[in-house]
Chain A
Amino acid sequence: MITDYDERQLDALRELASIGSGTAATALAQLLGRPVELAVPRVLALPLADALDAVGEPDAMVASVVMPTTGCAGGARGDAEIVVLLLFSYRCAATLCELLCVEPRSELGDSALGEIGNILGASAVGALATMTGLALEPQPPHVLYDMLGAVVASVLSATAGELDSALVLDAELAVADAACGLSFLLLPTAVGVAELLGRLGLGAEE
Chain B
Amino acid sequence: MTILAARDLVLGYGRRPVVHGVTLELTEGGTGLIGESGSGKTTLARAFLGLLKPLGGQVVYAGRDLRQADRRAFRRDVQPVFQGESLDPRMRIGASVAEALPRGARDRVGALLEQVGLDPELAARRPHELSGGQRQRVVIARALAVEPRLLVLDEPTSALDVTVQARILDLLAGLAADRLLITHNLAVVERLCRTSHVLFAGRVVESGETADLLRAPAHPYTKALRDAVPTLGGPPPEPGRSAPAAESGCPFRLRCPLAVPACEELPEPRVLAGRPRPRTVACHRAEDLLGGATAP
Asked if A and B are interacting partners, one says no
- Residue positions of B touching A, CB distance < 8 A: none
- Residue positions of A touching B, CB distance < 8 A: none
